[in-house]
């Protein structure tokens, strides 16, 4: 999802993504990865749909990172990228890999966020965090403390998004995207969105909006693609033909 946000922001797409309307001018994005080796992410990055704008991917997995320590090599590298690229959006994956302090203290939260803004004062920041593992004792699980650390990570943020995996009723899995906090709109608009992963293993789609988009594009397929409308629609949405056939509208038996 973060990769798709990076791609959409970089080209200034004005489309509905995961039920959220994205309208913006093209903006530069820096994605900083400190949790997963590049050799594991590169194949999937190559599978992202086009176009892709000014989007840079910085791999800090091998050398590690510590943005709270100005003497750490990663600090100098990030400061250099800030001066050189001046990105409009910085995506951090994941926050626990960019410092060595206790995740559960409020002071750590404030210090980390302050360091991020200090390094990239001109940018917006998207921070990825992981849920802590569920306890075998349900009474020990606190829904307000779902993240691996203090709830202050959400309290100090402008917007909080929570993604959880769910088992499908007909086999398979999907994800549920919930807005847990937003300073951009009233809480009554915080509708959860059901997402599924396309067979290309890269693109996420909201099942709340995907059928409507397919139904909208289906009759617009050009005559050169009349023998395979699904292929044309799939190309417009950046999904597989398999996904199109799963959600395409039923054709009337009287349709010529």
Q: Is position 190 within any domain?
A: no
Same domain? 6 vs 120 = yes
Residues 136 and 46 in one domain: yes
Q: Tens digits of per-residue pLDDT, 139-186?
A: 555 554 556 677 889 989 998 988 887 655 554 567 888 888 888 766
Q: Is residue 141 part of a domain?
A: yes
Do 99 and 17 share a structural domain? yes
Q: Are residues 80 and 149 in the same domain?
A: yes
pLDDT band at 201 (very low <50, low <70, confident <90, very high): confident
Query: Is pLDDT at 71 greater than 90 in this prediction?
Result: yes
User: Of 121, 136, 160, which one is at a domain's C-terminal end?
Assistant: 160
Categorize the per-residue pLDDT at 255 as very low, low, confident or very high, splitting at 50, 70 and 90: very low
Listed residues 144, 160, 176: the one ending a domain: 160
Q: Which residues contact 186 (CB under 8 A, 6 or more apart)?
A: none
- Residue 110: the pLDDT is 95
Residue with tokens 């309307």: 21
Helix axes 73-85, 106-119, angle to 10 degrees: 40
Q: What is the pTM of this model?
A: 0.75
In three-state secondary structure terms, 127 is strand
Q: Is residue 11 part of a domain?
A: yes
What are the distances in angstroms from CA 227 to CA 216, 220, 230, 231, 255?
18, 13, 9, 9, 14
Residue 99 within a domain: yes
**Structural domain count, the chain:** 2
202 within a domain of the structure (yes/no): no
Helix (H) or strand (E) holding 79: helix 73-85
Is position 6 within any domain?
Answer: yes
* In a shared domain, residues 143 and 20: yes
Q: Which domain holds residue 39?
A: 2-160
pLDDT digits (tens, 9 = 90+) for 177-194: 888 888 876 666 667 777
- Based on the fold, state whether residues 151 and 213 are members of the same structural domain: no
Say which CATH number the domain at 79 has. 3.40.50.300
Whether pLDDT at 49 is above 50: yes
Same domain? 93 vs 214: no
147/42 same-domain check: yes
Please give the pLDDT value at position 34: 96
Q: Are residues 66 and 131 in the same domain?
A: yes
> Do 139 and 242 lie in a common domain?
no
In terms of domains, do 83 and 20 share one? yes
Q: Please determine, for residue 88, whether its predicted confidence score (pLDDT) is greater than 90.
A: yes
From its phi and psi, is residue 63 left (phi > 0), alpha (psi between -120 and 50) or beta? alpha
Closest CA to 17 of 44, 49, 54: 49
In a domain, 172, yes or no: no
Within a domain: residue 61? yes
CB contact at 8 A, 77 and 71: no
Q: Does residue 126 sit in the same domain as residue 214?
A: no
């Amino acid at each position: 999802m973060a990769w798709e946000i990076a791609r959409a922001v970089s080209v200034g797409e004005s489309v509905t993504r995961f039920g959220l309307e994205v309208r913006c001018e093209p903006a530069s994005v820096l994605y900083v990865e400190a949790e997963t080796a590049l050799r594991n992410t590169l194949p999937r990055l190559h599978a992202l749909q086009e176009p892709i704008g000014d989007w840079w991917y910085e791999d800090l997995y091998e050398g590690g990172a510590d943005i709270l320590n100005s003497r750490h090599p990663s600090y100098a590298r990030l400061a250099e990228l800030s001066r050189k690229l001046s990105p409009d959006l910085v995506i951090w994956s994941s926050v626990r890999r960019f410092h060595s302090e206790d995740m559960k203290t409020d002071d750590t939260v404030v210090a980390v966020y302050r360091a991020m803004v200090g390094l990239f004062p001109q940018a917006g920041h998207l921070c990825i965090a992981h849920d802590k593992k569920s306890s075998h004792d349900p009474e020990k699980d606190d829904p307000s403390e779902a993240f691996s650390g203090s709830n202050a990570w959400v309290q100090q943020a402008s917007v909080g998004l929570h993604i959880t995996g769910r088992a499908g009723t007909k086999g398979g899995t999907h994800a549920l995207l919930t807005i847990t906090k937003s300073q951009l709109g009233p809480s009554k608009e915080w509708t959860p969105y059901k997402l599924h992963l396309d067979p290309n293993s890269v693109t996420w789609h909201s099942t709340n909006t995907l059928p409507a988009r397919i139904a909208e594009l289906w009759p617009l397929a050009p005559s050169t693609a009349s023998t395979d409308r699904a292929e044309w629609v799939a190309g417009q949405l950046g999904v597989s033909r398999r996904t199109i056939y799963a959600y395409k509208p039923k054709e009337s038996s009287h349709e010529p």
